[in-house]
Structure 1
Amino acid sequence: MSWGVISEMGPVAIRTSDFAQSVQDAQQILGLRETHRDGGVSYLAAADVHHELSYIESDIDGVESLGLIAGNGDALKEIRKRVEHEGFRIVSEKPARDGVEDGFTFVGPEGFAFEISIGLGREKAPAKGFGPQRYGHFNFHPQDHHGMVDFLQRVLDFRVSDVIGTGGSAGYFLRCNTEHHGIAVLKGRGTLHHHAWQVQDVTDLTKIGDRMHALGRELLWGPVRHGAGNNIACYYLEHSGNVVELYADMEQIYNDDREPVVWEDGEVWWNQWNSYVPDGFRSHGLAPTDLARR
């Protein structure tokens, strides 16, 4: 259920300087399947869709675009009208990747490119031994986080679920449907911090720790029980420098008009079990590519 022009989260596209390793990690650690390969682009998915993540072979590491699915063709037209009214540059008049019926890409605040689409192709997933159920959300750290939240509400109809802190450094969790958040916004260096994937239950979170251990690697953080969203989550670092989250038990909000939950300064919103956060956790992430200048 959604109320605005965006109905669900769409695919994330990432440029990677270690294409083979990025794809291998997505398959062997995260548990995605490669649905298609087109030259230097790998399309990957967990759900029964054409793709939820794409890696693009490159000489740089960076976030190419953040996908959002419009509710229908009329919603797609309305978003385009708003984008043009705001003066944001449209860099593609058609879908940038395969497997999408219609859409366009524009560069929003701080150089982040948003691909708005409809008609993401459906594709029956073969049986597999492990992996998430679907892609869920992303977390990013714009420099002007208040401005970014205003943009997400004004242009894309997102609603605020939780507010983190009451001072100038407040963060925000925003939703476009019943799931507690599709986008989290915290003040930072202007980077995408992580993309996140829903698993069936907490047992799947322990299994990813086992897979990391078998490869001689470690989880970055977790499992933890977040306060904002109430989900149980764990994180690992991928080769591009981006963080990947797996989560279960996310809060669902069925009251469209629910007032935001406000976490006062000093309240431990990031973990209900303890206040520990690994050193440097928020220093990871990917800056936008130079799509805005093409």
Structure 2
Amino acid sequence: MGGENMTALVLRLGYVALNVTDMTAAARDAENIAGVRVVEKTATRMLMTSNQRHAELIFYKSDKNTVRCIGLEANNAECVAEVARRALDRGLHILSETPSLDAISHSVTFVTSEGHIFEVHTPMLCNQPIRYLCGGIHPRYIDHVNLTAENPKLIIEELVEVLGMKLSERSAGYEINWLRAGDHRHHTIGMVKGAPGLHHYSWEFADFADFKRLGDMLDADDRSLVWGPGRHGAGDNLFAYYLDSAGFLVECTAEMELIQHNEEPRIVDVGENLSNPKVVNRWGTLPPQMWIDHHSPFTDVR
């Protein structure tokens, strides 16, 4: 694929912004289960974080539960400018070059050809205390998203060309793909064939003991895990999934593989309906149909 030797302009996932009908309930759920805290609150927006960064999860009050934007942290302002140039060269729509938050100094927001919305931004202001009281797990940071696209190969090509990301692993027909950023984690963006949207976003947890606490937290709220715990073959990361109060699928992960060298992407066979445990879940339990079918659309800005 063209652009495989390009240098990544983005370092990691910056934030996930979601439109929700009940902002208070969504924030309470993130506090009680994931264990993130509120940084700022207005009548229309709530900023939340799990570490010193000013915001990682953002809720906007809306009449529908949709994905508003995915933030990607660039190395510096020069990288942001280069992303803007490449997006225009690729013929992608630039929504804005004004940062969405005061805690960001420079950014560009663009839309893929299938409507995925990304804000590539300079590093988020780190102005929050490293420790805080919470009732949930307290993740280390927000770490990746899995998106869906009707033509995953095309969207992967756009993201490789515009963002300089690298393809770590994919299925033979590009039905499922994993893209890494500059921090070398196996994937910051996953891309799966389906109606354009978000499949899930993920928090990085400290260790496996957090997964036990997650199950107990959900049980205390008369809820349960959607899938897991287990260990993905692609990425080698521990995982467990649950649905939040707004219906978004949330993954909790740990121990993701690091790829330090500029190697060619691995080609894997995920099996019919994700039936290959060596790729999907090395511990054997395969995903339920509700996990496979889950989908959250982006806000339509085209």
CA gap 1:133/1:265 in 2 versus in 1, 3 angstroms: closer
The answer to whether the 8 Å contact 2:8/2:166 transfers is no
Give the distance between the partners of 2:168 and 2:265, measured in 1 at CA: 5
The answer to whether the 8 Å contact 1:241/1:285 transfers is no
Taking the TM superposition and a 5 Å limit, the aligned residue runs for 1:281-292 are 281-292=291-302
Aligned to 1:156: 163
Taking the TM superposition and a 5 Å limit, the aligned residue runs for 1:126-145 are 126-128=131-133, 130-145=137-152
Q: SS at 2:14's partner residue?
A: strand
What is the TM-score normalised by the length of structure 2?
A: 0.91
- Deviation of 1:93 (Å): 2.2
Give the distance between the partners of 2:107 and 2:269, measured in 1 at CA: 40
Q: SS at 1:186's partner residue?
A: strand
Aligned to 2:15: 11
1:118 equivalent to 2:122? Answer: yes
- Deviation of 1:265 (Å): 5.2
Q: SS at 2:114's partner residue?
A: helix
Residue-by-residue CA offset, 1:224-262 (whole Å, 9 max, x unaligned): 11000001100001132210000111111111x122222
- Deviation of 1:10 (Å): 1.2
Q: SS at 1:211's partner residue?
A: helix
- Deviation of 1:20 (Å): 1.5
Q: SS at 1:104's partner residue?
A: strand
The answer to whether the 8 Å contact 1:49/1:122 transfers is yes
The answer to whether the 8 Å contact 1:64/1:291 transfers is no
Aligned to 1:56: 60
The gaps in structure 1 that reach 5 residues or longer are none
Task: Output the amino acid matched with 2:14.
Answer: G
1:195 equivalent to 2:214? Answer: no
Q: SS at 1:12's partner residue?
A: strand
Give the distance between the partners of 1:265 and 1:139, measured in 2 at CA: 16
Give the distance between the partners of 1:107 and 1:275, measured in 2 at CA: 36
Aligned to 1:279: 289
- Deviation of 1:104 (Å): 2.1
Give the distance between the partners of 2:83 and 2:7, measured in 1 at CA: 14
Identity of aligned residues (%): 31
- Deviation of 1:109 (Å): 2.2
Give the distance between the partners of 2:257 and 2:198, measured in 1 at CA: 23
The answer to whether the 8 Å contact 2:270/2:280 transfers is no
Give the distance between the partners of 1:288 and 1:146, measured in 2 at CA: 19
- Deviation of 1:275 (Å): 4.5
- Deviation of 1:190 (Å): 1.1
Give the distance between the partners of 1:136 and 1:173, measured in 2 at CA: 13
The answer to whether the 8 Å contact 1:140/1:184 transfers is yes
Give the distance between the partners of 2:17 and 2:139, measured in 1 at CA: 18
What is the TM-score normalised by the length of structure 1?
A: 0.94
Runs of 4+ in 1 over 4 A off after TM superposition: none
Number of positions where the alignment pairs a residue of Structure 1 with one of Structure 2: 288
Q: SS at 2:245's partner residue?
A: coil
